[in-house]
Structure 1
Amino acid sequence: MNNIVSFLLLGTVVAVNCELHSLTYIYTAFSKPPVELPGIHEFTAMGQLDGRMIDYYDSDHKKKVPKQSWMEERLPAEYWVKGTQSRQSKEQWFHVNIDILMKRMRQNDTDTHILQWMHGCEGDMQQDGKLQFKQGWDMYNYDGNDFLSFDNAHEVWVAPIDAAKETKRKWDDVQVLKEYTRGYLQNECIEWLSKFMTYGDKQLNNASPPDVFVYAKNAKVSANAVLICLATGFYPKDITLQIRKDGRLLDRSDGVISSGVRPNGNDGTYQRRDEVEIVREEVAQYTCEVNHKASKVHVQKVWDHKLPVHPNGDFPIGAVVGAVVAIVIIAVVVVIGVLFKLRIIGGSVGSPDGSKKGSKESLSSKNTDGSDQQLNTVAGEVRVELLKPEEKKEGSPSGSDSGLSSANNSDPPSPESASLMGDNASSQSV
């Protein structure tokens, strides 16, 4: 399961803001069919534009499909046919190379192993509207650890672990592979990024503002509470979030913990959550400040000091004493009433002359004036509905996903011709 988490993190490595744009492709393969969990397949591949999924393929459906309306509208049928063929070839390549890696590392098939490949580019939008190459990445990950990456500046492969050094030697010896990888990242990838930016211009430029919430939840210590500042539903992902106490900015030294920016499922928006533990009796003013430049939203929300009742906390002493006293008084009144009814008290007593004189002793009970003290139970957690922005239709590009042939392919070089290891699979296997 940790490896699955690594996969999710791998897809969020690339930082995007309102000036930089990125195109990324992520491939993930399991050594054997994974447990039956929604969205987990033996092999998946996806393209992302500025962090938003634009196409998708998995081993169960075996078809490359668009994930944005403008992709479907602007790209011809041939693009998806050739893209499907390329993804199917990559799926086979991954299975072969996972087997090679498992044998190299003397691993058996008892455990599940994961091989990933991520590549893409980032461009800086110039004043003339053209994208200029800023950086590119081509990296492999095995079982949640870095395995191999391409140094674009020096045209060499970097092996951070011993098991990858054999692959590095093999791939460094193939000059055409290094030249193609660098050319793809610096030129072809940027061309596709620019094309996709044009096709999806309306959607990409339509920023989604954040919804901001500030609330408290219980801490482990009953005397404390955790103050939470949450911004969610925003796009693009560049955002500033701060917690202030009486105007003073709190940071890590004050105990602030941040989730960082994370994707909100598959709707293309993001969320960030910061929190800090405080004393429940705190009277200071806490403010959640959020700034999202793309949507021109600047929010300052002050915490209302509403606190949830801690399950292990003490009830107010006054309320407890008042409740006990009230119960005792009620019990005494009820008992006396029963005794009176049974004529054990307050009944007639015979006089010496036989006449029935009696004296009635009535018990008058005075109600003590007071007020009921109710313990208002506040929900410990605030439900936050993550609002999804409306789907918008825009334009789309043309091309195909066909391995090393890059004229009509937005994907990187096909792994069939650039395999990881090289043991006996192919000249460029791992």
Structure 2
Amino acid sequence: MCHMFFITVLVLLGAGLAANSEIHSLTCIYTALSKPDGTPGIHKFTAMDLLDGRAIEYYDSESERKVPKQEWMKECLSAEYWGKGTEEQWLESLMNRKRQNDSVVHVLQGMRGCEGKMQPDGTLKFHRAMHTYAYDGHDFLSFDSKNKFWIAAIQEAQLTMREWDSDQATKERIKRYLENVCIKWLKMFLVRGGKQLEEAPPPVVYVFAKKAKVETNLILTCLATGFYTKDIIVRIKRNRRVLAKEDGLMSSGGLPNGDDTFQRRDHVEILKSDLSTFICNVTHEATNISVKKLWGKKLCCFSFVSFLSLD
């Protein structure tokens, strides 16, 4: 399954059936500390499996058990899988190489996974691989799966890069996982987790304005929230023309709400005296939902009138 180079945590992620153009990601993020720092809830090692930014599996060095974060994950894997897990102690050797002692806490973070793009015929095609490390908050190493070599982000990573580059068998195994095995698992869970997407709520859309720093201006905001998956199209129209970055449009991108759903907030600064018609148009392809909201010229939060909502 997921033959991690340094971790044995299995990356098994699920997604719902998606629109043909949708890209899904299957990733594992993990953090290792050189020693416990005494902070409650902060463990020497943690790993989290994510689908499109949504947690589906969790492991930490205190419980030493893999925990499903979604009900359907329990049904997909055997009871033996959800038993005791392990992680290798590899941070110590890296610290020794950097000639650091354990007087302070050092942190190594990693992210590994793949992206798959749904094709018109319903197949999932490899899109991109991700395999990176950061040390004490700075980029450290990354793996180029296409060309099968490691890239050192800083001088201190050169020695590790040369050592890992000499291990051809491991590089072949990592490439095979990232470009093939990872996509196979993702493809399987597109089907297994399909019901989750079918039951996913549509986005709730608000359009409102508040005062800007410039007295003659307003900040017009379009907010879409409560949806899954995170990919969503948000457009603010002024008299039917879609506003862009050149018009001062800014976007938060897809952000987690904390309840397994996502939100996105786009805003633009306009004149108070502008009599144009402003419409927020939101399209969520995963659930085939399109929502339009007309700004009702009112100030402050969630002042809006419904213009049109299409299933």
Tell me if TM exceeds 0.5. Answer: yes
Cross-structure match for 1:293: 285
RMSD: 2.9
Q: C-alpha offsets along residues 333-364 of structure 1, whole Å, 9 cap, x if unaligned?
A: xxxxxxxxxxxxxxxxxxxxxxxxxxxxxxxx
Cross-structure match for 2:69: 67
d(CA) in 2 for partners of 1:158, 1:66? 33
Cross-structure match for 1:85: 85
On the 8 A contact 2:236/2:242 being kept in 1, the answer is: yes
Superposed displacement of residue 223, structure 1: 3.3
Cross-structure match for 2:308: none
Q: Larger strand proportion, structure 1 or 2?
A: 2
Cross-structure match for 1:99: 95
Superposed displacement of residue 269, structure 1: 1.9
Cross-structure match for 2:242: 249
Question: What does 1:330-369 align with in structure 2 at a 5 Å threshold?
Answer: none
Structure 2 unaligned segments of length 5 or more: list them. 1-16, 304-311
On the 8 A contact 2:114/2:179 being kept in 1, the answer is: yes
Q: Are 2:274 and 1:272 aligned?
A: no
d(CA) in 2 for partners of 1:43, 1:126? 37
> Which amino acid is 1:249 matched to?
V
Cross-structure match for 2:27: 24
Instruction: Provide the TM-score with structure 2 as the length reference.
Output: 0.80
Q: Are 2:217 and 1:224 aligned?
A: yes
Superposed displacement of residue 54, structure 1: 1.4
d(CA) in 2 for partners of 1:289, 1:41? 43
Q: Larger helix proportion, structure 1 or 2?
A: 1
> Which amino acid is 1:175 matched to?
Q
Q: Which one has more relative contact order, counting CA pairs under 8 Å at least 6 apart?
A: 1
d(CA) in 2 for partners of 1:58, 1:22? 22
Superposed displacement of residue 190, structure 1: 2.4
Structure 1 unaligned segments of length 5 or more: list them. 1-15, 308-379, 384-430
Cross-structure match for 1:147: 140
Superposed displacement of residue 79, structure 1: 0.7
d(CA) in 2 for partners of 1:131, 1:252? 32
Q: 1:213 aligns with which of 206, 210, 213?
A: 206
Instruction: Provide the TM-score with structure 1 as the length reference.
Output: 0.60
Superposed displacement of residue 77, structure 1: 1.6
Q: C-alpha offsets along residues 117-158 of structure 1, whole Å, 9 cap, x if unaligned?
A: 111122344566553433322211223332111111111111
d(CA) in 2 for partners of 1:242, 1:264? 21
Go from structure 1 to structure 2 and tell me whether the alpha carbon gap of 1:160 and 1:263 turns closer, same or farther (over 3 Å shift): same
d(CA) in 2 for partners of 1:270, 1:215? 19
Superposed displacement of residue 187, structure 1: 2.7
Cross-structure match for 2:274: 282
**Matched residues, number:** 286
